[in-house]
A and B are shown apart, each in its own frame.
Chain A
Amino acid sequence: MKRFSSIISRLYAFIYLRGFKIWASYKTQVILNILSWIIPIFTYYFVGTSFGQGFVSYIGVRNYTAFIVIGLAFQGYVSSVITTISGRMRSEQLFGTIEYYMLSPTGVFGMMIYSAVWGFILNTINTVAIVSIGICLGVSFLGANLIGAFIIIVELLVSTLGLSMIAGGIIMVVKQGNPISFFFTTVTALLSGTVFPVRVLPYYVRLISYAIPLTPALNGLRLALLKGASFHALYSYFIILLLFDLVLVPLGFLIYKIGFDCARKKGTLSEY
């Protein structure tokens, strides 16, 4: 019971105090955040409609609006969770509070996990907004396999957690200029099939996209949500994402621990 109470207390602290209250105190930033979630969908919607159905069929997409709604809604989970964690790590170093995380039973690792929850919540709002706009623009989710989609989302988030730990470990040492954050926020939008199918990419570039968990996740989510694909049809996506999880989570732990021990040895934990 006490353990449950302390989890609730930490969720309140990280989601409401550290997350929402501070985020909402920058009112202009809140408005800009919301606009940055919404505007891209209209941008791509008009790109698709202006090029016409013939063009999008050529690249293998029947309904471009539906394609990008899924892409933008769920790519945000990856980029925002990783950005939140590595950004949070850096901001705690700037605030000077990271040492106090380490001294507490929650620890720096706990800080990363609970911060991921805030990133997840923020992006869920983003996702709901994008999906709602998609529905207004004519996207249909009738017959969607919601449970299948849920499984894929959970597996995607677990792999994202592994990547976040890698990013967190790197930030502890390099302090700024995190290549993992850069790659998974900027490059994945290009390579993982967010706004166009990966089949249009050159072969060697496509190989890189297959190594990103978001690529199979988006393919699986499109099948589950737009076509109502069965569990049998989604089975290969479940397995691929599970393999990503089994590699990235232990790797994330390892790199995080190495970064943390290095910072502690050098005495640079709170440096920025």
Chain B
Amino acid sequence: MEITTSNISKTFKVRKKTINALYNVSIEVPKRSVAALVGPNGAGKTTLIKILSTLMLPTSGTAYVHGYDIIREAKNVRKSIGLATSGERLFYYRLSGYENLVFFASLYGLPLQEAKRKSIELLRMVGLSDFINIPYMKYSLGMQRRLALARALINDPPVLLLDEPTLGIDPISAREFRRMIKMLSRDKTVFFTSHYMGEIDELSDIVFFIKNGKIILKGSVEELKERVGKVIEVIVPERHINKTITRFVVNLRYGKAYLRIPKRCIDFIGPIKNNMEIIGESEPSLEDAYVILVGGQN
């Protein structure tokens, strides 16, 4: 296994209040696979990424990345990972993309000529060759994400940790990004967090669902869909929507609600059964699996 955690917990104390960001999280990610960590906002995804990258210490539990203990062998873990986080505050605004990469390459001890050569190569790989000398502050969000990926690859790490890598970027850029991840996963292990089910469905070999700091479900995309089973698509008047079935609502329009309900749950949805119009039956999507098996934030 390339990434292993065993009962990782993380507790924060904020103004006399105790927050359990992670609770007994145990995951295993095989070598050269793509693993996704999915969960609502505040579920603990970024906290786990930070712990695996040694930026944060866990309160309890153990974890290994590329065979190294994240606490006792933190230096070796850092040599083995590349990290890309979301956010705009990640580079020096007044330096160009190229200068930023040369800077960070030098932090890894690359001789200057090699740092420059590597930076050009990475910029080409992520599709930023035409923007080498443009200051980072002029980059679009998609370009910023690509530069962050390039930086994560500077030391050619065997493990990539990506925190919401396509957050806020346009569909074409996101598609391009996914293509790069797929290519990289041929010889690297990729562990990423995301909210985009389509992306997770397309990329992941294994998915972990996290909620309130706990891993509540894990498996391959196919396994998770199988747990949901076939889905019935129905339309009901909006006024009949209650707490029981809110999670199945896909959209609301003109006083009607469009729902996707697991076939095996149909008998348990209550009297609304009498007011629904069945449109059809389909295979479940990963989003269906998430909504049904994980639910909302509470």
- The interface of chain A, by Cβ under 8 A from chain B, is 2, 5-6, 8-10, 12-13, 17-18, 21-22, 25, 94-97, 99-106, 110, 264-267, 269-270
Contacts and interface: CB of A to CB of B under 8 A. Distances in A.
B81 A96 contact: no
Contacts of A18: 92, 103
Contacts of A110: 107
Contacts of B272: none
Interface string B143-160: 000000001000000000
A235 B111 CA distance: 42
6 nearest A-B pairs in the assembled complex, by CB-CB distance: A96-B89, A5-B111, A104-B107, A6-B109, A13-B106, A267-B56
B92 A2 contact: no
Contact of B95 (A8, A10, A17, A94): A17
Contacts of A17: 92, 95, 99, 102-103
A267 B47 contact: yes
Contacts of B88: 96
B83 A97 contact: no
Give the secondary structure class of A's interface. helix
Contacts of A12: 106, 112
B79 interface: yes
B247 interface: no
B53 interface: yes
B78 A103 contact: yes
A108 to B, nearest CB: 11
Contact of B108 (A2, A21, A96, A105): A105
Contacts of A5: 111-112
Interface in B56-86: 56-57, 75, 78-79, 81, 83, 85
Residue among B92, B94, B99, B115 with the most chain A CB within 10 A? B92
Contacts of B91: 95, 97
A13 B95 CA distance: 11
Nearest to A25: B94
27 contacts: A5-B112, A9-B109, A9-B112, A10-B109, A13-B102, A13-B107, A17-B99, A22-B95, A94-B89, A95-B89, A95-B93, A96-B90, A99-B83, A100-B90, A100-B151, A103-B53, A103-B78, A103-B83, A105-B75, A105-B107, A105-B108, A106-B106, A265-B57, A267-B10, A267-B55, A269-B55, A270-B55
B110 interface: yes
Given A18-B92, A21-B94, A21-B95, A100 B56 contact: no
A8 B50 contact: no
Contacts of B111: 2, 5-6, 8-9
Interface of B: 10, 12, 47, 50, 53-57, 75, 78-79, 81, 83, 85, 87-95, 99, 102-112, 115, 151
Contact of B55 (A6, A8, A97, A102): A102
A25 B96 CA distance: 12
A76 to B, nearest CB: 25
B79 A97 contact: no
B92 A100 contact: no
Nearest to B55: A99
A268 to B, nearest CB: 9
Contact of B112 (A8, A95, A103): A8
A205 B12 CA distance: 43
B209 to A, nearest CB: 23
Contact of B90 (A21, A97, A105, A264): A97
Contacts of B50: 267
Given A8-B111, A12-B112, A21 B99 contact: yes
Nearest to A13: B106
A100 to B, nearest CB: 6
A106 B108 CA distance: 7
A6 B114 CA distance: 10
A103 B49 CA distance: 13
A9 B119 CA distance: 13
A166 to B, nearest CB: 23
A227 to B, nearest CB: 44
A199 to B, nearest CB: 47
A264 B57 contact: yes
A95 B104 CA distance: 14
B55 A95 contact: no
A96 B83 CA distance: 13
B294 to A, nearest CB: 24
A168 B85 CA distance: 24
